[in-house]
Amino acid sequence: MSTAQKLWDDVDAYFTSLLAPADEVLTETLRDSEAAGLPPINVAPNQGKLLQLFARIQGARRILEIGTLGGYSTIWLGRALPADGRLITLEYDAKHAEVARRNLSRAGLDKITEVRVGPALESLPKLAEERQDPFDLVFIDADKANNVHYVEWAVKLTRPGSLIVVDNVVRGGRVTDADSDDPSVRGTRAALELIANHPKLAGTAVQTVGSKGHDGFALARVVD
């Protein structure tokens, strides 16, 4: 491990123990996700807390997540919702969805959360057809190649004032490679360009370092 990574880990351990400490539900969520063979690509605890704060700042009653994995970020977000709130999370992999449902149930969030299985680009048009109330926050964290499509759907499924968060937009700096043939880099760059140019979005992106390496978030507000 690099000296820099060791330093980032130490600072994250300090921040997390102080400001985003694990409880039994979060610990067991990660333990069961690992035991089921899911990759450890959940957000860091202090990033989960940041998502929860965004949801609270938004006064979010309805949240959409694209990319559930074992439901770790879902729990941070779901805990920001009122008792009559709603969180819909989209997951391609049936095994991930099953692990997530168990974790959400243990978290006491099964009544307000719903895991929908399938490719998100199939679930999103179905969701739009249901004509539900708009989402107050959308967290995009699935296959990065489709990020531009996910931002487009997020705009359709939100209202002025909603917040769109895109995870993993830096990837150790690979995002700056305009000639990259990596579909994840291309998808993320397309999403950032859409945020920059979309008349209904005002956004930015920030780099982060920490236990998950050098990465970052894009944030976009749907304009009034």
Candidates 84-92, 176-184, 191-199, 211-219; binding stretch for ligand SAH (CB under 6 A): 84-92
CB of 3 to ligand SAH, least distance (A): 27
Total residues in contact with Mg ion, by rule CB under 5 A:
3
Residues in contact with Mg ion, shown as a per-residue x/- string from 142 to 181 under the rule CB under 5 A: -------------------------xx-------------
Give the residue, chosen from 93, 98, 152, 182, that forms a contact with ligand SAH under the rule CB under 6 A.
93
Residues in contact with ligand DHB, shown as a per-residue x/- string from 14 to 53 under the rule CB under 6 A: ---------------------------x------------
CB of 82 to ligand DHB, least distance (A): 27
Question: Using CB atoms, what's the residue nearest to ligand DHB?
Answer: 41
The whole-angstrom separation of Cα 117 and Cα 207 is 31
The whole-angstrom separation of Cα 70 and Cα 28 is 11
Judged by CB under 6 A, does residue 62 bind ligand SAH?
A: no
Give the residue, chosen from 49, 99, 167, 201, that forms a contact with ligand DHB under the rule CB under 6 A.
167
- The upper half-sphere exposure of residue 108, i.e. CA atoms within 13 Å in the direction of its Cβ, equals 7
State the CB neighbour count (10 A cutoff) for residue 31: 12
Judged by CB under 6 A, does residue 142 bind ligand SAH?
A: yes
Of residues 109 through 128, those in contact with ligand SAH by CB under 6 A are 119-120
List the one residue out of 156, 214, 163, 166 whose CA is nearest residue 193: 166
State the CB neighbour count (10 A cutoff) for residue 23: 10
Candidates 54-62, 64-72, 101-109, 213-221; binding stretch for ligand SAH (CB under 6 A): 64-72
Of residues 103 through 142, those in contact with Mg ion by CB under 5 A are 141
Task: Classify strands 62-66 and 86-91 as parallel, antiparallel or unpaired.
Answer: parallel
Query: Cα separations (Å) of 178 from 86, 190, 191, 193?
Result: 38, 10, 13, 12
Contact 192, 205 (CB under 8 A): yes
Smaller CB distance to ligand SAH: residue 90 or 127? 90
What phi and psi, each to the nearest 5 degrees, are found at residue 146?
A: -95, 10
